[in-house]
Amino acid sequence: MSPVHLDPSSRRTVRIGGASGFWGDSMLGATQLVQSGLIDYLVFDYLAETTMAIMASVRTKKPEMGYATDFVDMAMKAVLPEVMQRGIKVVANAGGMNPQACADALHALAHSMGLHPKIAVVLGDDISAQLPALRDANTRDMYRGDPLPAKVLSANAYLGAVPVARALAEGADIVITGRGVDSAVTLGPLMHEFNWSPQDYDLLAGGSLAGHIIECGCQATGGLHTDWQDIPDWPNIGYPIIDCFADGSFELHKTPGTGGKILRAAVAEQLLYEIGDPGAYLLPDVRCDFRQVRIEQLSPERVHVSGAVGLAPSAHYKVSATAMDGFRCTGSMLIIGIDAAAKARRTGESILARTRTMLQQLDLPDFTSATVDLLGAETVYGPHARAGGSREVMVRVIVSHPLKQALDMFAKEISPAGTSWSPGTTGPGGGRPSPSPHIKPFSFLVDKASVAVAVHMGEHVWPVASPAVAEVGALRDAPVLAAPAAWLETGEPETEVPLIRLCWARSGDKGDISNIGLVARRPEWLPLLWARVTPEVVKAYFAHLVKGRVERFYLPGIDAMNLVMQEALGGGGPSSTRNDPLGKGMGQILLDMPVRVPQSVALLL
């Protein structure tokens, strides 16, 4: 059924601008969106598993830190007066490991400006006090099955949107949360403004999809798009704005006159970003079914998104935790000239051999892990690397060890390579590398009933119960969808083309899992893609990187498939020593894969 579009002027809209996709995003977003005059809410997403690991490391050295300092010191410092003047509400998960400290810093900033915003803090995601009991109950990592480490630095439950909505209902101008799902900073305002109940699952799924589309900032407005050449004005790229409607649908656009581009294909790529089974995208508030979502290009500046379906959530929160796992150090050298890759490989192996001998002489254990990587030699492509090689290669040697002393020794043995071994050895400078704590993330599930969530604002505290535990009842599964129509082999002559000619792609990570979403450039080509890009083909193509199984899921609404690869990232995030620990390049690698197509299709490319 075709989507029905109501004139936005005939129904109420809530306008939300996504100003940040991660801790470290450009400061352009907040100022651009606030000055546009086109938003009611300004939302910031700062957190990822790797970010939480970094914040945990910072907090071990400075207990008063552990939050996204950029939010206070840069973003809000630049826009707070105008935000207050325009009546824009702000929601951010900038609190990270220490949301109260973030709120205190923002209060101090506001006071220095003569401003008095009502700042609410969502607390309760820190469940570290429960760890002894969870360990006694034999709680294990939900991906690897490992027992909980003996010493844990942090453990934070992924909270949902209900406490954000409660904070806004109590009159907050600014809501700061700790670890919550990325989309909750958007769903919370929509629940508040449209009075959606925690049981309005289809609406919650639509609001969650709205948050998912804008949670990575400019990835929704042309950033990272497969056809990057078609995206204008990168320096002035527009940050996303969504006009949200009470039926759970929304329209995406950006500030007029900014760079980037509003494209159905780019939004479809973002829908597929970092998801597993699109029929069961699990969030604290709702299980989302995105398989039949429709994305329609309304104009060169707008797309309309609708069709998300919601199911009851589980009675558990996912917990993101971190533990100290010794120390890590990375050294690098640049090798120039003929056979640069071979010389770089030998250099890295020689550094390891020398330092291992020294460790043995001191009766110290071997490295916990040791990796030699070459940048510029296409080693990430494995057997698919192009012949010829490069005459300029960076060698990176990454080692881990329980003792900082061992890594201090390793760090001293990087520079001597410049005068001892390969001709053409040099480097960009920067001095001797320094060992740093190796923070290892892990994940597990915890009963929602055991997590006490509350909204704090001034002297007031409002407990927030989880309706999923008391009211959900039996869970209902998403319906089974048939696979795409079978591709009919015509027997005509075929030719090979790179996959990129047939589809767009976006890849990302969840721990040690990488996913690649493929969107057919033409709907009629999806059966061909389904026939050629099978899980077996993908597993074989990535055999040098992917150690686990490959699953495939069908999204008929956007003529797409999602490939989910287990044990694909060498541990993932800060646990990985790969050049691409977050799987950002895996979609690009797959797009280079040759695919057989009939000549009648090749003529259309």
Question: Is the confidence at residue 133, as pLDDT, over 60?
Answer: yes
The phi, psi pair for 30, rounded to 5°, reads -60, -50
pLDDT digits (tens, 9 = 90+) for 445-492: 999 999 999 999 999 999 998 765 434 444 567 788 888 999 988 889
- Cα→Cα distances 541→411, 535, 550, Å: 36, 10, 11
pLDDT digits (tens, 9 = 90+) for 94-129: 999 999 999 999 999 999 999 999 999 999 999 999
Q: Given this model, what pLDDT does residue 469 score? A: 47
Beta-bridge partners for 227: none
Q: Is the CB of residue 252 less than 8 Å from the CB of residue 302? A: yes
CA–CA separation, 302 and 309 (whole Å): 22
Pick the range with the lowest mean pLDDT from 134-138, 266-270, 429-433, 560-564: 429-433
pLDDT digits (tens, 9 = 90+) for 53-92: 788 878 888 888 999 999 999 999 999 999 999 999 999 9
pTM: 0.93
Pick the range with the lowest mean pLDDT from 294-298, 388-392, 493-497: 388-392
- Smallest CA-to-CA distance from 99 within 118, 77, 119 is with 119
Q: Token pair 């894969």 is at which residue?
A: 593
Q: Is the CB of residue 344 less than 8 Å from the CB of residue 446? A: no
CA–CA separation, 23 and 49 (whole Å): 12
The stretch 425-443 carries a mean pLDDT of 87
The stretch 172-195 carries a mean pLDDT of 97
Q: Token pair 């071979």 is at which residue?
A: 342
The stretch 303-332 carries a mean pLDDT of 94
Question: Is the confidence at residue 10, as pLDDT, over 50?
Answer: no
CA–CA separation, 352 and 413 (whole Å): 9
Q: Token pair 């009991």 is at which residue?
A: 133
Q: Could you give the 3-state DSSP secondary structure of residue 600?
A: helix
Q: Given this model, what pLDDT does residue 310 score? A: 96
Q: Given this model, what pLDDT does residue 431 score? A: 81
DSSP letter at 140 equals B
Which of 144-148, 163-167, 484-488 reaches the highest mean pLDDT? 163-167
CA–CA separation, 468 and 446 (whole Å): 13
CA–CA separation, 415 and 392 (whole Å): 18
Q: Is the CB of residue 526 less than 8 Å from the CB of residue 483? A: no
Q: Is the CB of residue 91 less than 8 Å from the CB of residue 58? A: no
CA–CA separation, 322 and 66 (whole Å): 13
Quickly state the pLDDT bin for 569 (edges 50, 70, 90): very high
For all residues of the chain together, what is the average pLDDT?
93
pLDDT digits (tens, 9 = 90+) for 486-534: 998 888 999 999 999 999 999 999 889 999 999 999 999 999 999 999 9
Quickly state the pLDDT bin for 135 (edges 50, 70, 90): very high
DSSP letter at 76 equals I
As a whole number of Å, the end-to-end CA separation of the chain is 30
Maximal C-alpha separation, the chain = 79
CA–CA separation, 487 and 189 (whole Å): 44
Q: Is the CB of residue 330 less than 8 Å from the CB of residue 430? A: no
CB atoms within 10 A of CB 61: 9
Q: Is the CB of residue 545 less than 8 Å from the CB of residue 568? A: yes
The stretch 219-243 carries a mean pLDDT of 98
* Percentage, residues of the chain above pLDDT 90: 83
Q: Say how many residues make up the chain.
A: 605
Q: Given this model, what pLDDT does residue 476 score? A: 62
DSSP calls for 15-26: EEEEEESSTT--
Question: Is the confidence at residue 172, as pLDDT, over 80?
Answer: yes
CA–CA separation, 525 and 523 (whole Å): 5
